[in-house]
Each structure stands twice: as structure tokens, then as C-alpha cells.
């Protein structure tokens, strides 16, 4: 079975997560600079068996969309043009950043943050947010 890649799109950084081959568990994959997302996406699509990409839908509490949605739509158009066979799914991303922050604050790692600052990728809110989004998606 193909894997699912999830993208937590941001203006500066983009979090990525991926499922295992049976689509039962989401794993944090990477955080990339938004300028490098197309090259990074190409790398993962080349070496991983991915047929679906899940992208967060930035909805406000009043159900309107955040302005970044315009950038996300442009990004999706680029993906559709470059990889027309990929399935693109959207998922409501409300609260994922708050949940990721909660996770970071309430883990035992809080005591070790100074030691772990060298390994920033491990304590990466964007990657954690993408993992939470993907785990929510595969639950249903």
C-alpha cells in the first residue's frame, strides 16, 4: 500500500509527516524552509511510494479562511501540474499548533530543552503539527 505524506504549510517553515506502509501510524518526517518545499517534495516522491498528500486547511473559529490559504492554493496548483496522479486531500488544521505546543511544554523534555537545542529538528512544532494532522486524517 502507498504511503500518505502530510504538509503543515507555513510562510517560513513547512512541517512534513508520513505514514507507514499500511497507513496506520503517522511519523514526523522533516521541517523545511518554504522556499525549498518543491525540491524536498520531489525528493520524497521519488524515493517513497506516496500516492496521497494531505494539506492542512487553515480555518478560523468563525469558519473563514486565514490569508495563507491563497499561498496554499498556489502550492496545490503547482503540485497538481507537476504530479497530476497525486491525490490531494485537505484537513481542518485548527488547534494543531496549540496541541503541538502543549506536547512540547508538557513532555519531560522541557527540563532538557537547553541540552536538546542542538537537535532542533527533534523539538520541531511544525513537524509535530504535521504528524498530528496526519494522525487525525488516518483515524477516519
Give me the residue spans of the domains in the chain. 3-139
List, for residues 3-41, the tens digit of each pLDDT value: 999 999 999 999 999 999 999 999 999 999 999 999 999
Give the pLDDT of residue 102.
58
Cell of 23: 497507513
Give every strand in the sheet of 26-33, ordered side by side: 26-33, 13-19, 3-8, 50-57, 87-92
Q: How far apart are CA 97 and CA 119, in angstroms?
A: 20
pLDDT at 13: 93
pLDDT beneath 50: ranges in the chain: none
Q: What is the model's pLDDT at position 60?
A: 86
pLDDT at residue 8 in the model: 94
Please report the pLDDT score of residue 26 as a whole number. 95
CA distance 12 to 90: 20
What pLDDT is stored for residue 63 in this prediction?
A: 86
In the prediction, which pLDDT does 112 show?
Answer: 61
Query: 55: which strand partners?
Result: 7, 90
Task: Determine the pLDDT at residue 80.
Answer: 97
Q: What is the CA radius of gyration of the chain?
A: 15
Residue 88's H or E segment, with its range, is strand 87-92
* DSSP assignment letter at 117: G
What CATH fold (topology level) applies to the domain 3-139? Nucleotidyltransferase; domain 5 (3.30.420)
C-alpha cell at 59: 480555518
Amino acid at each position: 500500500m502507498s504511503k500518505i505524506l502530510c504538509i503543515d504549510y507555513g510562510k517560513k517553515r513547512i512541517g512534513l509527516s508520513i505514514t507507514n506502509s499500511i497507513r496506520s501510524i503517522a511519523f514526523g518526517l522533516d521541517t523545511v524552509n518554504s522556499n525549498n518545499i518543491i525540491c524536498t517534495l520531489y525528493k520524497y516522491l521519488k524515493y517513497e511510494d506516496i500516492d496521497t498528500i494531505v494539506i492542512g486547511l487553515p480555518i478560523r473559529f468563525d469558519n473563514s479562511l486565514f490569508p495563507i490559504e491563497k499561498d496554499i492554493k498556489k502550492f496545490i496548483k503547482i503540485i497538481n501540474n507537476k504530479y497530476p496522479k497525486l491525490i490531494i486531500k485537505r484537513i481542518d488544521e485548527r488547534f494543531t499548533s496549540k496541541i503541538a505546543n502543549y506536547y512540547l511544554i508538557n513532555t519531560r523534555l522541557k527540563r532538557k530543552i537547553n541540552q536538546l537545542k542542538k537537535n532542533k529538528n527533534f523539538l520541531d512544532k511544525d513537524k509535530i503539527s504535521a504528524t498530528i494532522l496526519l494522525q487525525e486524517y488516518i483515524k477516519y
